[in-house]
Amino acid sequence: MPGASLDFFYEFGSPYSYLSAMRIAALAERAGVQVRWRPFLLGPIFRAQGYEDSPFNTMPLKRAHMWSDLDRLVRIAGLPAVTRPEPFPANGLLAARVAVWLDDASRPAFSRAIYVAEFVEGRDIGARETVRQVLAGLGHFCDDILAEAEAPANKEKLRGETEAAQRLGLFGAPSFVTRDGELFWGNDRLDMALDHARAIG
């Protein structure tokens, strides 16, 4: 029998995905749940819903609240203070392609490092050099990985992950999907998602 598992869908431009990415490993270990990290792109999903931009950009009051909320949440989580990246949301396409190309063992560390570069250090993760430096800092042969990540087959792999997210009914990030297809949306639903994953085994 397989053990309890949870699919973690995240977007590199998403501040709340950053929070979940920094918390999920320890919480999942305590819960006895295996996590599959699944990067995807929100842009195509937003466009399918009629949005041409992030709702945080089209609704200034929502955006202002989001940043103050994030400041509170990182303090509670014991994470470094947030640096607001510019532009926002960041272009996470290259980072997502790299994350999809990496194996399951390497993907979490890379993803967390990208989020730190973006939301702690305020670096532009849409810049090729930023992604290259993150890879190098993790000991990867970065130029080889970047070339592989931008190959047509890997671009199609990321497109497939985004299409899979759409089929599962995802509309935002982070989202968590359990073995029985239950969808939990938002950083504040992470504990609930883990509890459900553990309950169904």
Q: Which residues are catalytic?
A: 14
Can you tell me whether residue 67 is helix, strand or coil?
helix
Tokens of 58: 């089209």
Contact 6, 28 (CB under 8 A): yes
Tokens of 186: 């938002």
Distance CA 70, CA 82 (A): 8
Question: How far apart are alpha carbons 200 and 70 in whole angstroms?
Answer: 31
Phi and psi angles of residue 53, each rounded to the nearest 5 degrees, phi first: -150, 170
The structure tokens listed for 83 are 């640096």
Helix (H) or strand (E) holding 192: helix 190-200
Parallel, antiparallel or unpaired: strands 34-39 and 175-178: unpaired
Amino acid at 123: R
